[in-house]
Amino acid sequence: MTVASPPLLRGDGASAQNRRSTRLATPLGDMLVAVSDDGVLGAYFDGQAHQPDAAWFGARVEQRDDALLDAAAQQLTAWFAGERTDFDLPLAPLGTPFQRSVWELLLRIPPGETTTYGELSASLSPDGVATPGQAQGVGQAVGHNPVSVIVPCHRVVGSDGSLVGFAGGLDRKRWLLAHEESETTRESRLF
């Protein structure tokens, strides 16, 4: 089982030189994975909300013809197969500084664990207390995460533990959380 330390977001979130993409089959349907010279820009399930238009993804290429797309596809395939629990890819999702700060927090949620929107919001406040407007902004940033699975927005749940808000659909979120839970349970039995 491969476990890597979480990747950090690269750059300022504004650059996307030389965009290219590939399709990847997953147990939850196809994903469109897009990269730039800076890193992975996006990983979207077919039909996912907040997905950019087709032109945003750049030229379609075969994953084997692009080192970064190939690495992303291999790591996602291994993750879905239960062969890894994290990713070690350069990430360069485009977003505002606030969105990127939220996405950095998502990268810190360990596999098999969850947090709430309120807890994320509170961790962004100097005094550890979330404001109502900030909590709403955190929810929007989580919902607009462009790098599904790799930046684990599926690990964020409602304050009562309910499954709420996932741009890829709640059935996918349920599957992703169950998959991680079974992998971390299996891994803990090995030690």
Which residues 6+ apart lie within 8 Å of 158 measured at CB? 116, 117, 164, 165
Is 153 one of the catalytic residues? yes
| Residue whose pair of structure tokens reads 């349970």 in the numeric block | 185
Q: What's the rounded Cα separation, in Å, for the pair 129 and 83?
A: 38
First to last CA, the chain: 12
The catalytic residue among 94, 102, 151, 153 is 153
151-189 pLDDT, tens digit each: 999 999 988 888 888 888 899 999 999 999 876 555 544
Lowest average pLDDT, out of 106-115, 125-134, 159-168, goes to: 125-134
Q: What's the rounded Cα separation, in Å, for the pair 70 and 145?
A: 21
